[in-house]
Amino acid sequence: MKILAKIYAFLIFVFLYAPIFVIVVFSFNSGSSRAVFEGFSLQWYKEMLQDELILRSLWYSLIIAVLSAIIATVIGTMAAVGINNLKGWKKSAFLSANNIPVVNPEIVTAISMMILFVFILSYFNSLEMGFGTLLIAHITFNIPYVVLSVLPKLRGMDSNIYNAALDLGCPPVKAFIKVVIPQILPGVISGLIMAFTLSLDDFVISYFNSGSSFQTLPITIYSMTKKPYSLKLNALSTIMFAVILVLMIAGNIRKPANEKKLKK
């Protein structure tokens, strides 16, 4: 039974990682084929780093991800605190409203915002979709995830500490910053990170809500896949994957270190 379990787990991870393996290996191909490996070379990395379109859209992706994550975290954290204070039907109404963009298919969220933007922009003939519409769209789909990651922390919060601070004469705003924020901070940070990554990775919503002037990386990748496939995309994906892997491992190593500090 144990061996069977191990074989099964192995096969599932082969399935999950096979494409990753193919992408990484072929990023080093000296030929230009996706399927025939001709020899080792770094040419696709070099070409990728010289591709202005890729670099520019990577930059745009980062700008949108950082801005939308920060704005969504502020709005979402405030909303979570507000929702946590509510009771009864009001609370469930707000929670259901918050869930609409989560439950709705991405493509529906995307086209619904697209209709709104087209509608509004048609009044201002000169404007077209771009940075603004993209940022708004990303903030919109990020907010619910921030709310959902902050709420459990608020529920698990010991309200006595906050009340104690008030009893001891601490003004509410100061008590909020000094007592509440530190307690919900893990939720706020994980919401921020989730919003950042969702935004960085988003294709569907950006696809319908970005103009030709301001394209994020996934959009550029999509338009590149329509032309004859270039292994530059493999090189790009491999670098991004490596960066994320390093960040993840660093995060995992840092955690135990922090715990040790706390124990001291």
Please, which of residues 31-90 interact with other proteins by CB under 8 A?
Answer: 34-35, 74-76, 78-79, 81-87
Task: Tell me the CA distances in angstroms from 155 to 50, 150, 180, 203, 243, one per residue in order.
Answer: 50, 9, 12, 33, 34
Q: Which long-range contacts (CB under 8 A, 24 or more apart) does 193-198 make?
A: 193/69, 194/145, 194/146, 194/149, 195/68, 195/69, 195/72, 195/73, 195/76, 195/142, 195/145, 195/146, 196/65, 196/66, 196/69, 197/65, 198/141, 198/142, 198/145
Q: Which of residues 73, 98, 149, 206 is near other proteins by CB under 8 A?
A: 98
184, burial (CB in 10 Å: exposed 0-12, middle 13-18, buried 19+): buried
CB of 154 to other proteins, least distance (A): 8
Q: Which of residues 57, 140, 210, 215 is near other proteins by CB under 8 A?
A: 140
CB of 69 to other proteins, least distance (A): 15
What are the structure tokens assigned to 106, written together?
């991405």
Applying CB under 8 A, the span of 49-57, 62-70, 112-120, 186-194 interacting with other proteins comes to 112-120
Scanning residues 154 to 193, which ones bind other proteins (CB under 8 A)? 154-155, 157-160, 162-163, 172-173, 176, 180
Please tell me the distance from the alpha carbon of residue 68 to that of residue 223, in angstroms, as a whole number.
24
CB of 234 to other proteins, least distance (A): 7
Q: Which of residues 56, 62, 94, 170 is near other proteins by CB under 8 A?
A: 94
Scanning residues 230 to 249, which ones bind other proteins (CB under 8 A)? 233-234, 237, 240-241, 244-245, 248
131 interacts with other proteins by CB under 8 A: no
Q: Which of residues 14, 42, 49, 108 is near other proteins by CB under 8 A?
A: 108
